[in-house]
Amino acid sequence: MGKLTTVLAKKEAEAYLSQGLHQEAIKLYDQLLDASPHIDPAIKAAIENHRQKIEVAFQENTARKTRPLTAAEIGRIREGWGTQANESDILVCAQAFLQIGAHAEALAELRTLVAQAGPKKIYVHAMADCLAGLHPPDEIGAAVRSLARASVDDPKTVLAMQVAMAERLAERGHPDHARALFLHLAEMPALAAAMQNRLAALAAASAAPCAAANTEQRGAACARSPRRFGLERLRRLFGR
């Protein structure tokens, strides 16, 4: 294999690169090297040098694509939409903030959604996720109550939101937050019995390991699906 073959291979590789096909360009050089075991050392070094540069560029490009957006970057995108952002746009931003742990920013977007579209279940549950990241268990009751009251006016819906957030915390693996919120809600006479039942179910789920299906799984604790209690009337207020 001579210099002409190397030049032609390089041009073909550049054509692949111009289309963003880094892996195809790398494969081309690999095939070139495999087909010529007795290649001139200088030509081989040149091919390997080109291949290495492409490999580095490919890895850098992949890293850029897979790197999560920062809170500042998401914020700039959100600001760019301005008042033109619709419900779906705002939800995407809220979810993006939540995925990177920017709970305060996510909560702000969710409050906007509830103000515009009402306390849909998906928004209320996401609010609970945010509050669990922002507050320790001993603060969760006051935080949930304050958020619910600031979000809606109807007292029954305020209560329904708090119950829904407590259930969400239990389902999502925040037993300490859920327990604190259930205790907080149990102070209300109308909910006392139901909340005590829910606390008992939460304690049982936390204490009892699931039965193992085989030897490898035996002894591994896993959370049960939380048992529902009779508050369907409250859930129907926002069960969209």
Q: Are residues 139 and 231 in the same domain?
A: yes
Q: How far is CA 106 from CA 69, 93, 146, 179, in A?
A: 14, 7, 17, 24
Q: Check residue 223 and give its pLDDT.
A: 39
* Residue 147 pLDDT greater than 80, yes or no: yes
Structural domain boundaries, residue 12: 3-66
**Any domain includes 198:** yes
Q: Are residues 48 and 130 in the same domain?
A: no
Name which of 176, 175, 150, 172 is nearest 161 in CA terms: 150
Q: Are residues 212 and 122 in the same domain?
A: yes
For 159-198, strand residue ranges (E) read: none
Q: Check residue 168 and give its pLDDT.
A: 94
**Any domain includes 33:** yes
Average the pLDDT over 119-146 and give the result. Answer: 96
Average the pLDDT over 139-164 and give the result. Answer: 95
Average the pLDDT over 134-153 and give the result. Answer: 96
Q: Are residues 129 and 220 in the same domain?
A: yes
CA 21, 23, 28 angle in degrees (round to 5)? 100
Average the pLDDT over 80-96 and give the result. Answer: 88
Contact 159, 234 (CB under 8 A): yes
Residue after which a domain boundary falls, among 66, 84, 107: 66
Residue after which a domain boundary falls, among 48, 66, 84: 66
Q: Are residues 230 and 122 in the same domain?
A: yes
- Tally the domains of the chain: 2
**Any domain includes 190:** yes
Q: Are residues 50 and 152 in the same domain?
A: no
Contact 25, 10 (CB under 8 A): no
Kindly give, in sequence order, each residue whose CB lies less than 8 Å from that of residue 224, ignoring residues fewer than 6 positions away: 204, 205, 208, 210
**Any domain includes 73:** no
**Any domain includes 92:** no
HSE value, Cβ hemisphere, 13 Å, CA-based, for 201: 17
- Give pLDDT tens digits for 28-58: 888 878 877 777 788 788 878 888 888 888 8
CA–CA distance, 37 with 190 (Å, rounded to integer): 83
Q: Are residues 143 and 40 in the same domain?
A: no
**Any domain includes 101:** no
Q: Are residues 210 and 128 in the same domain?
A: yes
**Any domain includes 49:** yes
Q: Are residues 131 and 225 in the same domain?
A: yes
Q: Check residue 60 and give its pLDDT.
A: 77
